[in-house]
């Protein structure tokens, strides 16, 4: 297993674009869609997380190490400790946030930079998201050239993020924009007609030239195209991107963890797959 420091300390902008803004921008609000074919032979990447309980075996995942203020002024330190990240023995990846007696919070972030990147296709992960004050789990993508050009120039695709009690989804993209340190954010948020916290759901993104669609199970969340860009914003999403999974704690967006946060708390990932479309 390759272990790497996490170099991406992007500032999170609050995902505050609401339904009326999305409609004005031409984005598609949540709707029912047909479920994609599950044929295994169409996968270009498939991680099933089978095996005995313990550390992840050698494979495509690297670990970000460090933190304590990354991105959103978060509270957690990311580690590769099996207490924070590993197989649970029941076919899942367990990403666990813990708080010790001194108040230090540890968690994990995994990514596939240099080992798996893709330009076009459908990436999906079946995840049981945790809930609790200050929790911020995510499944997302970053442009493979981020080490060369930085954030947001490389682009970011947020497949799913939830905050606190996970009563709403957050999804969208960050694109570079001339004169802006944070770039343009095109995003959507809101409730879906079923619970997200504590239940396995399939979160997905479909990438085709000039178009990004995200969803959960059979519900489409947002559709974003080049036509949604503001003047001075660049479409950088037709290049290779890599996958990330993490459980962040605290920060300016979800707020801080407190005595009600149910430490230790775990984000369970059943599988991650990418298929051609």
What is the DSSP code string of 76-140?
A: PEE---TTTEEE-SSS-EEEEEEE-TT--EEE-EEE-TTT--BSSEEEEEEEEB--STTEEEEEE
- Position 68 scores a pLDDT of 85
Contact 203, 216 (CB under 8 A): yes
Place of tokens 């933190």: 67
CA torsion sign for 188, 194, 200, 202 is negative
Kindly name the residue from 156, 226, 230, 252 that is annotated as catalytic. Answer: 156
Active site residue 156: yes
Q: Domains in the chain, ordered, with CATH?
A: 19-35+46-275 (2.60.120.200)
pLDDT per residue as tens digits for the range 35-88: 444 545 589 999 999 999 999 999 999 999 999 888 789 999 999 999 999 999
Question: What's the pLDDT band for 89 if we cut at 50, 70, 90?
Answer: very high
Could you give the CA distance from residue 276 to residue 42 in angstroms, rounded to a whole number? 6
pTM greater than 0.75 (yes/no) = yes
Beta-bridged to residue 77, according to DSSP, are: 67, 106
Kindly name the residue from 161, 168, 199, 252 that is annotated as catalytic. Answer: 161
Distant-in-sequence, close-in-space partners of 219: CB < 8 Å, separation ≥ 6: 30, 31, 32, 33, 192, 193
Vertex 66 angle, CA 62 and 72, to 5°: 105
Beta-bridged to residue 275, according to DSSP, are: 43, 122
Active site residue 230: no
Residue 22 has pLDDT above 90, yes or no: no
- Position 41 scores a pLDDT of 58
pLDDT per residue as tens digits for the range 182-202: 999 999 999 999 999 999 999
Map residue 148 onto helix, strand or coil: helix
Distance of CA 22 to the CA centre of its chain: 21
Neighbour tally for 4: CB within 10 Å: 13
């Amino acid at each position: 297993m390759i272990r790497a420091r996490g170099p991406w300390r992007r500032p999170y902008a609050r995902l505050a674009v609401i339904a009326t803004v999305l409609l004005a921008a031409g984005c598609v609000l949540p709707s029912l869609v047909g479920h994609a074919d599950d044929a295994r032979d169409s996968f270009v990447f498939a991680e099933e997380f089978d095996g005995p309980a313990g550390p992840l075996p050698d494979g495509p995942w690297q670990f970000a190490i460090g933190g304590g203020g990354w991105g959103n002024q978060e509270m957690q330190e990311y580690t590769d400790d099996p207490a924070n990240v590993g197989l649970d023995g029941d076919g899942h990846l367990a990403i666990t946030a813990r708080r010790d007696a001194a108040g230090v919070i540890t968690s994990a972030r995994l990514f596939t930079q240099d080992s798996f990147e893709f330009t076009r296709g459908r990436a999906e992960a079946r995840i049981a998201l945790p809930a609790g004050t200050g929790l911020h789990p995510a499944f997302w993508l970053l442009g493979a050239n981020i080490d060369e050009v930085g954030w947001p120039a490389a682009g970011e695709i947020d497949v799913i993020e939830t905050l606190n009690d996970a009563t709403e989804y957050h999804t969208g993209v960050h694109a570079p924009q001339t004169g802006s340190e944070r770039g343009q954010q095109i995003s959507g948020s809101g409730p879906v007609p079923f619970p997200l916290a504590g239940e396995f759901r399939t979160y997905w993104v479909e990438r085709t030239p000039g178009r990004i669609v995200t969803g959960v199970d059979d519900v489409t969340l947002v559709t974003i195209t080049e036509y949604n860009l503001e003047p001075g914003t660049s479409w950088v999403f037709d290049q290779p991107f890599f996958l990330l999974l993490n459980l962040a704690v605290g920060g300016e967006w979800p707020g801080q963890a407190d005595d009600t946060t149910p430490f230790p708390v775990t984000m369970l990932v059943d599988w991650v797959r990418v298929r051609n479309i």
